Amino acid sequence: MAALPDADDGWLPGARRAPSPNHGPRPAGVQPWLVVLHSISLPPGEYGGPWIERLFTNTLDWDAHPYFQDIRGLEVSAHFLIRRDGECVQFVALDRRAWHAGRSSWQGHENCNDFSVGIELEGLEGDTFTDAQYAALAALLAALRPRLPALHAVAGHEHVAPGRKRDPGPGFDWARLIRLTGWPAAWFASKAPGQPPTQEKPGDMDRAGG
């Protein structure tokens, strides 16, 4: 993911497009200044299948796996997904409000969806992430900067919804991401290095438009 952003339509040419219907307008005059990092796997702990994209595009077969009954009818999205191999998929244009953070706040501002870009990492909270994902994430953040000049903060879902969410979790290496981006450490919610995988139960997903 090394391409520069397309300033015309809010879609990055270096990302594969998989448009989601789950989005809405940002509040008038609001420019995104926060990135919220998430982790997701469907079914939990299984990687590489089509299910995340189908969930975000409202095409998931709820009967394809028993776990899907627990999230039946869910309507969610993120702006981007970074797969385990580093592939970057974009679901929502940057000027639109994706449905990823739910009930949340950061630095005294409520409803993070209004002013954030949501990036999902294919993974499980408590598990580690791949070298390809860190490289792709750093490249994606670098590509966002020219498009989003107000951008100055990066947090996890666990930081904007503490006590309710735990992703991307202790396996995510914040210190590594800071080194890769070269951005000021003060922009990041955490400076902690990643930890070995632990046996954590996946958290529940946010509901539509939250």
Q: Which residues are catalytic?
A: 120
In which residue are the tokens 């969930």 written? 55
Q: Give the C-alpha distances (Å, rounded to integers) separating 38 from 64, 120, 199, 202.
A: 24, 5, 18, 12
